[in-house]
Amino acid sequence: MQYLAPENTADAVALLSKSKGSVHVLAGGSDLLVRMKGGYVEPDVIVDIKHIKQMNGIKKTADGFIIGAAVSCAKLGEHVALRKAWPGVVEAANLIGSDQIQGRCTIVGNLCNASPAADSVPALIAANAVAVVHGPKGERDVDVAKIGTGPGKTSLKKGEVVESIRLPARSAKSADAYLRFTPRTEMDIAVVSAAVNLTLGAKGVIKDARVSLGAVAPRALLVPAAAKAIIGTTLDDAALAKLASACSAACNPIDDKRGTVAYRTKVAAVLGRRAAESAYARAGGKK
């Protein structure tokens, strides 16, 4: 096996494009090394992206935030402005694994590992985030919802790498929230998860919203019906009930070691509701 550590995105793309065999991008390694240990993958080439400058920072711009692909989730948690603008994205990122994992894992790794239960993905989808993808044919922007295509599968082509994630700028009275259910308080994988991102208009009426669910389908879902249920409301009980049933209706889960179809479907509604309440309160809504 070859370990390569390019220093810019172009070199990474070149290495990924020309390397033969089993080629893997290494960011935090918290998924890749686990799969290597289990013998599920035997890479011929590993391209470590942590030495690439463009991938190593969090930038606040007029258009929002640009988060480099190699930035650890712990760094997201330490970024005051990001935490203030996107508390849901940050809390989702910070739920991944232990402090030990936090020091290594990245939201781009979480996205590209393409687990339906990835914590940061529903939050990124709800946030309308964009992945900046570099490849042999140049740069393209991809809606984060379109990166994962199914468990362990992405839409990225040979030679492509996500350089960064772009989060939009925040308008006033906006907030997001992410909640997941796990049997343990830590060190667990989401059995179900929900992210809600919303913006309030006058008098606490929800002007805009996005709702996303994790671990209830082959990939994280955007649930427009759930958003519709609360837009134009002040998140009254009727709206919450409608949101909850829209969440359950959107579920298409499986029975597995972590949960059952029935359980996931029921709890998706609960988490959708609770996440909405949390986002609403954060955005300044009073009930």
Best CA proximity match to 173, nearest among 127, 196, 206, 125: 206
Q: Is 256 in the site for other proteins (CB under 8 A)?
A: yes
From the list 19, 27, 50, 114, which residue makes contact with other proteins (rule: CB under 8 A)? 50
Asked if 55 is part of the footprint of other proteins (rule: CB under 8 A), the reply reads no
Cβ 277 to other proteins, closest distance in Å?
A: 13
Position among 184, 202, 203, 286 found at the interface with other proteins (CB under 8 A): 184
CA 32/CA 263 separation, integer angstroms: 30
Q: Confirm if 216 and 254 have CB atoms less than 8 A apart.
A: no
As a whole number of angstroms, the distance between CA 149 and CA 25 comes to 18
Site string for other proteins, 109-148 (x = CB under 8 A): ----------------------------------------
Contact status: 241 vs other proteins (CB under 8 A) = no
Residues 6+ apart with CB under 8 A from 265: 216, 248, 251, 253
34 binds other proteins (CB under 8 A): yes
Q: How many residues touch other proteins (CB under 8 A)? A: 46
Q: What DSSP element (H or E) covers 213? A: strand 206-214
Of the candidate residues 81, 169, 187, 238, the single one contacting other proteins (CB under 8 A): 187
Is 49 a binding residue for other proteins by CB under 8 A? The answer is no
CB of 113 to other proteins, least distance (A): 13
Which H, E and C letters describe 37-63, residue by residue?
Answer: HCCCCCCCEEEECCCCHHHCCEEEECC
In 3-state terms, what secondary structure has residue 274? helix
Work out the burial of residue 206: count CB atoms within 10 Å of its CB; fewer than 13 is exposed, 13-18 middle, 19 or more buried: buried
CA dist 187 and 128 (Å) reads 27
Among 9, 19, 30, 174, binds other proteins (CB under 8 A): 30
Q: Does 15 bind other proteins (CB under 8 A)?
A: no
Residues 6+ positions from 172 with CB-CB distance below 8 Å: none
Residue in 6, 159, 259, 272 binding other proteins, rule: CB under 8 A = 259
72 binds other proteins (CB under 8 A): yes
254 touches other proteins (CB under 8 A): no
Q: Taking CB under 8 A as the rule, does residue 103 contact other proteins?
A: yes
46 near other proteins, judged by CB under 8 A: yes
CB 69 within 8 A of CB 106: yes
| Residue ranges binding other proteins (CB under 8 A) | 1-3, 5, 26, 28-30, 33-34, 36-39, 43, 46, 48, 50, 72, 74, 97-101, 103-104, 181, 183-189, 191, 256-260, 262-263, 266-267, 270
